[in-house]
Chain A
Amino acid sequence: MIEYNGANEINGQFIIYEGVENASFEEIVEIRVNTGERKSGQIVKIDGDKVIVQVFEGTESISLTNNTVKLSGHPMEIGLSEEILGRVFDGAARPIDGLGEIYAEKKADINGKPLNPVSRAYPRNFIQTGISAIDGLTTLIRGQKLPIFSGNGLPHDQLAAQIVRQASLVGEGGNFGIVFAAMGVKYDVAEFFKKTFEESGSL
């Protein structure tokens, strides 16, 4: 594995390296800064032997000369196993609940495998949310994608939490699981959901 020393240009969250060979688009790279810090980034643009790397953790403490970059040879991956149930991760899938790393049974590309459209089954079974306005008039079906359009200050979080507490498939036991992803939410909203999941026993 080749490491490249020194950057050509740093601009905001991007670093430009020159003379990089065999880089591929969306590849994950590891950046070692000589202060001992390790950062990760993703290749977002390739022009000849020039690559632009987007650094996830930000480019503070990186200068043009104090870092080396190593290509990983694969796109962003996430380690998967059933241990993931009940755990809390940060936005880049690193555990933040202090219970240690996940022992991964397999790794998967986070962009997912495209689903063969022919193998899709038509969604049918009804999911009971216990909320009249949804069950009676805008029924949620297993396998459906049904967004909630809300506005600032409206109780969409409470509604989502209630759906989490009450959702069940009628007629079958099934094992129901919840995956929750918060993007750019405030701390109190995250705490609210954490508390809800603890109450409902899903965390």
Chain B
Amino acid sequence: MFLNLANDPVTERIITPKAALSVAEYLAFEKGMDILVILTDMTAYAEALREISSSRGEIPSRKGYPGYLYSELASLYERAGIVNGLSGSVTQIPILTMPNDDITHPVPDLTGYITEGQIVLDRNLHAKNIYPPVNILPSLSRLMKDGIGEGYTRKDHPDLANQLFSSYAHVGDIRALASVIGEDELADLDKLYMQFGQNFENYYINQGKYENRDILKTIGQGWDMLKIFPKSELDRVNTKILEEFYPKG
């Protein structure tokens, strides 16, 4: 555990993640442990780089950050992974706060280029008292397809995830429509989507801070959300899998 607090020297702040990652690499690749590294807050790290860079008199790039912000971030994020023939691994969860919730700000933007996906928290969901307020639409895990399904989780997991994404994305369209013509004027199927959107946020995304759902429970919960639709509406799921896993009754 490495702590550089807000009132500690800025110059130490740029050493902190490097020192932490050195420890992680040592424990992972020499002691064979599976290490999870949490780095918070990457925005403060980038601001420390900016402060030092401008006091050195370097030419600033976007929003005053130095031009080498990208390579600095990459040199941290790329210190994750698994090495052939060694048993340990380094998994990273960097946390960054987007100033003004702006995903195009240099720090989240450059981070997104390097990392394998992102989990985006959303202020509107937070305002609805949903925890964790994960907005799944812009969230993505690029390595997910290789670690789920048969042999890893359960064979219906990939299809189910696609279907949930697609149905929830459609909820957005229906909500926009409802805000124009009013909820009562919606077609019956669209009303189902409105209901699904609410259920999905309240019972799938939302969970307790000490609630530990295992993967089978998560998958089961996913099917429970989808069973509000007739089978014909679930067009992202393979028919065989649909027959096998669509909840009966």
Question: Which residues of A does B touch, CB under 8 Å?
Answer: 12-14, 44-45, 52, 54-58, 76, 78, 80, 82, 84-85, 87-93, 96, 106, 108-113, 115, 119-128, 130-160, 162-167, 169-170, 174-187, 189-190, 193-194, 197, 203
Kindly identify, within residues 187 to 213 of chain B, every residue whose CB is under 8 Å from any CB belonging to chain A. 204-205, 207, 209-213
Tell me whether chain B's interface is mostly helix, strand or loop, or mixed. mixed
Stretch in B116-124, B172-180, B229-237 with 4+ CB within 8 Å of A: B116-124
B36, A186: Cβ atoms closer than 8 Å: no
Q: Which residues of A contact B152 (CB under 8 A)?
A: 124-126, 170
Q: How far is the CA of A143 from the CA of B116 in the complex (A)?
A: 10
B243 beta carbon closer than 8 Å to chain A = no
User: Do the beta carbons of A82 and B31 come within 8 Å of each other?
Assistant: yes
Interchain pairs with CB closer than 8 A, number:
396
Are B98 and A151 in contact, with the CB atoms below 8 A?
A: yes
A58 to B51 alpha-carbon distance, docked (Å):
14
A145 to B114, CA, bound (A): 9
The majority secondary structure among interface residues of chain A is mixed
Apart from A136-B218, A147-B42, A176-B34, list 11 A-B contacts with CB within 8 A.
A84-B23, A126-B152, A130-B213, A145-B80, A146-B115, A147-B108, A149-B103, A160-B93, A181-B21, A183-B48, A185-B5
Binding site for A on B (CB under 8 A): 1-6, 8-13, 15-27, 31-42, 44-45, 47-48, 52, 55-56, 75, 77-85, 89-101, 103, 108, 111-112, 114-121, 123, 126, 131-134, 136, 139-141, 143-144, 146-148, 152-153, 157, 160-161, 164-165, 204-205, 207, 209-215, 217-219, 221-222
Closest B residue to A187 by beta carbon equals B5
Q: Which of B55, B90, B115, B213 contacts A132 (CB 8 A)?
A: B213
Q: Please name 20 pairs of A and B residues whose Cβ atoms are closer than 8 Å in the assembled complex, sorted by A.
A: A54-B11, A56-B9, A56-B15, A80-B23, A91-B8, A112-B18, A120-B83, A123-B143, A132-B204, A138-B139, A140-B91, A140-B141, A146-B118, A151-B123, A152-B97, A160-B40, A163-B93, A183-B39, A184-B4, A184-B47
A79 to chain B, nearest CB (A): 10
Does A179 contact B82, Cβ atoms closer than 8 Å? no
**B119, A147: Cβ atoms closer than 8 Å:** yes
Contact A147 B95 (CB under 8 A): yes
Quick check: B1 and A142 within 8 Å, CB to CB?
Answer: no
Q: Tell me whether B2 and A91 are in contact (CB under 8 A).
A: yes
CA–CA, A121 to B41, complex, Å? 28
- Within the complex, the shortest CB–CB distance from A174 to chain B, in Å, comes to 5
A185→B123 contact, CB < 8 A: no
Name A156's contact: one of B22, B37, B95, B108 (CB within 8 Å). B95
